[in-house]
Each structure stands twice: as structure tokens, then as C-alpha cells.
Amino acid sequence: MRHCSQFSADEVYYLKENSIFTTRILSIGFCPICKRPVAELVEYNFAGGINKQTLSGIHAQTLMLNLKDEIVSAVGDVNYQKIKSRPFGWKFGFNKETKNGKIKQYACDFYGNQELVKTINNS
């Protein structure tokens, strides 16, 4: 996205198809320089043409409110579900010794998720 400078979107939404456009993507973010809300709507039509509309301030908020009923899915929701289910991405090992002498080995990630891999009797 671009407003005062180039920056990445905070949220990305996929919208329903309509009679004119096949793929519709709404990106929302805040400009890091002027702190105004910025909305970018990218629509691809059946002939392969692209319609790109970038709005900021009050116009961006009205665009978001007008399109909120057409949201099918959001990229943030998919990533959040993937991250919160099991260890995801870079993993590291964590060993924990219990009071009764067992060692539990966990696989952990940098999002705070952990999963028990194996338990070793240390006797």
C-alpha cells in the first residue's frame, strides 16, 4: 500500500464476486507517517483488467463500512488459526524435568505454542 510512503497492510479481506469483478481484495492499514487510515480496493474483471482504488481518511472508513457485508474471509483469521493450533514456523526444543525424575521434551515455537514430543524415565 502507498500513502505518504510504501507500507504493508494490517488486514487483508477477500470480498464476494459480483457481476463485473471476479477477484476482489480489500487491504486496510494505517500510514506510518501521518497515521491516517488507508483502504485499498483491488478488483480484477473477467477480461483481465484491474481496477485499483486507494482512499484515505474518512473516505477509507466509508469504503470499509460499505464493503463489510461482502467479506468472505480474511488473511489474518487464517494465519491466526494456523498459529494457534500447533507449533508453527521455526521450532526449538525445550526439556523439563518433573519431580518424580521424568524428563519431558517439548517442541516450541516463537508464538508461545508447545507440544509434548516424548517423555523419558530418568531412573
Is residue 80 predicted with pLDDT exceeding 60? no
C-alpha cell at position 37: 487510515
- List, for residues 4-28, the tens digit of each pLDDT value: 888 888 788 889 888 888 889 998 8
pLDDT of residue 89: 61
Query: What is the number of structural domains in the chain?
Result: 2
| Pair 41, 97 in one domain | no
Percent of the chain with pLDDT over 90: 12
Distance CA 116, CA 108 (A): 9
| Pair 71, 106 in one domain | no
| Pair 20, 71 in one domain | yes
How confident is residue 52, by pLDDT bands cut at 50, 70 and 90?
very high
Distance CA 21, CA 75 (A): 20
Q: Indicate the pTM of the whole model.
A: 0.59
pLDDT of residue 5: 81
**Cβ atoms 3, 34 nearer than 8 A:** yes
**Is residue 5 situated within a structural domain?**
no
